[in-house]
Structure 1
């Protein structure tokens, strides 16, 4: 069933029945619904906004489109022979137009076509759980429909910004990440509040487009990553003119004299800018979904946060699943899509009687998002890039693993050929009892392309003695694998 072609004034159904209802039409919800349909079931997708969600229109795609031109220009300037051919700076208008093309100009008709062609039903509206396997959807233009699910309801509602309790913030107009990735003009001066991935990436993107950027972080920039890696990223930001204020608290924000904003810091100083971007993290979008009214054992009343197994099934139920950012485990699009595929597979298997209704699926089966525990890949698309999979040394030891680390500067023939004065760093974390990798980090230009080999090594628990025989091609940056293993002692 789909209502995207609904004509105002015509009769809409008040009751619908399907196998699975998915709340949230972003990339994660699309994957969950798609996998359910592949498993032979019916599914209806419920979405109040654009099909494709945050990643397609306000996060992954537009932010990387903003970053890529600056990275390409810097790469050209980093090699003798090509740098002499560079005669200008970034054309902001062209960058923004290219960014707009990657968001399809915020038109989701193509995504709508995909939903229809895949055989997924679509209801545009805001859904809320009203009972087991039952969802009520309110339309924006009035009216509602109740959808009953024979097998499951999946919450794939994503996450929302988590602004800090900053005095005066509610009284000013400021950018969140949505406004920062969809802006049509470059602000002359920009303050970025938050030193996480979004704040760091967007600081560099707007600085390279011509904005004078100040980045304010309560702790360090990218503090969850190994220090040598984040120091390289900070050096790259500084090279682009970003004024980095780490370990800095804020007291207030207020409108500036003559426009803009003023941000008061805890050391008594005041920053002024034309725009303030607040990028201090996100929280699962679970409010107003009816979870608190269902009395579920697997939902913590104080936080309305569901506890789930590796298939996304909420504890104490045999019908409610939560995946992606909404589950609050790993707030990354690719990992959310992975969770959604596992959930869809589990739902179809349970519907066919191949998996008991409330039994957790076997680890590493297609119905379990096992990699969420220890093999999550993530990339910070700054220049230089930071790419990591698995655990840091500190995380591994905190988990009780007898872990060691081997690290070195990323300096091989391939990196020297890649760019003049290439600077990079690499680290591997080893479980000494099992002699396998549990974490790998790379920092440097274009190191994200090394990440999948590391992800395979960590996920597959490849023994180091066997990994030694995975010969890296010469001359490529991947030769760093050989150097790491040699330093380790192989």
Structure 2
């Protein structure tokens, strides 16, 4: 049997969660090994956040410019597809992770390339592509940070149809003339925005009643309206029953419930994510392969005191900024426990306890228009038993919005917890609305009394003036 190599911490997965955990562990003086079977940097760097935003930025900039007098006539032409793809490729490092590896080397982490699996208590076995085998033993913690993957439903014909998932949608090197998208959540809406702008004729097939179902209904409604104006077809309340592909490179046909068929050149499935835990040895420690890993607020397993799970695998918040936050929390908790600091066992002990990934989760959807939200929706808050008041304001009535773009359309909502007199959540949708979100996140996380928010005076003329209008609406009871 291969002799085990010992480290203080072994991290399984080299995406943003794993990288940030390594950084925190090394800063605390703990020896650390990281195991990764693909590219260091993970899904976000190569197939999700970074390439998708690189594709979306030209689309959104052009949309904004077309609403500005004196500039609109100059930007009516098509996007330079090759330049957009080159911009995307630059930001993904052409799908090479040399820079990420160099950084890990600079902080003194040991990188093991290959497939890693739990190998019993505090051990990880690694099989490299070259056939080498290593066993790593952790003195203090094994951290699972293997992320998630796109779910492809088991539809008749789906395997032979070779559908796109988020990976293919963000890395494709040609523009399909007709793109069918199944789904209505963030990936579906963002990719519809990007590929419609690049020249595809997009058709969205949404089983539910609208886009962006985890946000306030008005956000998805405005995004759908703008997509339709751009030429996309958005159909809600429809269900795909089967898929057929004509040969190796021919068109793909989807069969809807009721027998209607639609044809496209590519099919993107964007219907959810599942944890990448089906083949990482969970069964060797009594956990079920393929499941999400349940953790406490220090991101430690609820069943094993040496096992941590950060990022998508714990299902708390599948967002890159939140998984980095979790990595910082878990790193601090591991370091404190390794040093024998008893205060880390407190229920809510400062830097060692995660709360922002459950109580005040901010998210931006980079569609046209942008949609941004923190905290629960009105419906979710009421289901949770909060006594809340929704305060709404038409963003187009704010001076800064009118100066930002002609014909500006947008909406803002803040939720006031009537028992505590603080903000519980906020949602903004409109061009440039993403930049409103962090102020809301600070107010929600800091539980700033509404009375104090009156003294946070927004600059004129900015879209942030909506904060004053929301507070006036709340005061006036309208």
TM-score (norm 2): 0.96
1:316 matched to 2:303: yes
1:337 matched to 2:324: yes
Instruction: Say what the alpha-carbon RMSD is for the aligned residues.
Output: 1.5
Deviations 1:342-374 (A, max 9, x none): 000100000011136xx7444261111111221
Deviations 1:287-320 (A, max 9, x none): 111112312xxx4x49633221111100132210
CA distance in 1, matches of 2:258, 2:234: 15
Is this contact kept in 1: 2:54–2:88, CA < 8 A? yes
1:19 matched to 2:8: yes
Name the residue aligned to 2:271.
280
1:475 matched to 2:461: yes
Name the residue aligned to 1:166.
155
Secondary structure of 2:461's counterpart equals: coil
Secondary structure of 1:277's counterpart equals: strand
**Structure 1's 200 and 87: CA in aligned 2 closer, same or farther, altered over 3 A?**
closer
1:231 matched to 2:221: yes
| Match for residue 41 of structure 2 among 52, 57, 60 | 52
1:488 matched to 2:452: no
Secondary structure of 1:437's counterpart equals: strand
CA distance in 2, matches of 1:157, 1:49: 11
| Match for residue 259 of structure 1 among 235, 250, 254 | 250
| Match for residue 154 of structure 1 among 111, 120, 143 | 143
CA distance in 2, matches of 1:276, 1:50: 26
1:271 matched to 2:258: no
TM-aligned CA deviation for residue 164 of structure 1: 1.5
CA distance in 2, matches of 1:221, 1:193: 11
Is this contact kept in 1: 2:140–2:338, CA < 8 A? yes
Deviations 1:78-120 (A, max 9, x none): 0111113335221111111111001010010000001111121
Secondary structure of 1:62's counterpart equals: helix
Which aligned pairs between 1:183-198 and structure 2 lie closer than 5 A?
Answer: 183-198=172-187
Farther off after superposition, 383-392 or 255-264: 255-264
Which aligned pairs between 1:288-303 and structure 2 lie closer than 5 A?
Answer: 288-295=279-286, 299=287, 301=288
**Structure 1's 303 and 27: CA in aligned 2 closer, same or farther, altered over 3 A?**
closer
TM-aligned CA deviation for residue 221 of structure 1: 1.4
Deviations 1:265-294 (A, max 9, x none): 113211101111111110111111111231
Is this contact kept in 2: 1:379–1:386, CA < 8 A? yes
TM-aligned CA deviation for residue 236 of structure 1: 1.3
Is this contact kept in 1: 2:117–2:124, CA < 8 A? yes
TM-aligned CA deviation for residue 255 of structure 1: 1.2
1:34 matched to 2:3: no
1:419 matched to 2:408: no
**Structure 1's 289 and 489: CA in aligned 2 closer, same or farther, altered over 3 A?**
same
1:389 matched to 2:374: yes
Aligned residues: 472
Secondary structure of 1:131's counterpart equals: coil
1:84 matched to 2:73: yes
Name the residue aligned to 2:385.
400
| Match for residue 315 of structure 2 among 306, 309, 328 | 328
User: Which stretches in structure 2 are left out of the alignment for 5+ residues?
Assistant: none
Secondary structure of 1:208's counterpart equals: helix
Is this contact kept in 2: 1:292–1:304, CA < 8 A? no
Secondary structure of 1:366's counterpart equals: helix
Deviations 1:18-41 (A, max 9, x none): 000000001110001111111111
**Structure 1's 480 and 58: CA in aligned 2 closer, same or farther, altered over 3 A?**
same
CA distance in 2, matches of 1:413, 1:267: 49
Name the residue aligned to 1:351.
338
Deviations 1:11-61 (A, max 9, x none): xx8531100000000111000111111111111110011000000000000
CA distance in 1, matches of 2:54, 2:291: 35
Name the residue aligned to 1:459.
445
TM-aligned CA deviation for residue 244 of structure 1: 0.6
CA distance in 2, matches of 1:383, 1:364: 40
User: Which stretches in structure 1 are left out of the alignment for 5+ residues?
Assistant: 1-12
Is this contact kept in 1: 2:182–2:188, CA < 8 A? yes
CA distance in 2, matches of 1:58, 1:302: 24
**Structure 1's 62 and 361: CA in aligned 2 closer, same or farther, altered over 3 A?**
farther
Farther off after superposition, 84-93 or 399-408: 84-93
TM-score (norm 1): 0.94
Secondary structure of 2:352's counterpart equals: coil
Is this contact kept in 2: 1:374–1:438, CA < 8 A? no
CA distance in 1, matches of 2:456, 2:347: 29
Is this contact kept in 2: 1:346–1:355, CA < 8 A? no
Is this contact kept in 2: 1:311–1:361, CA < 8 A? no
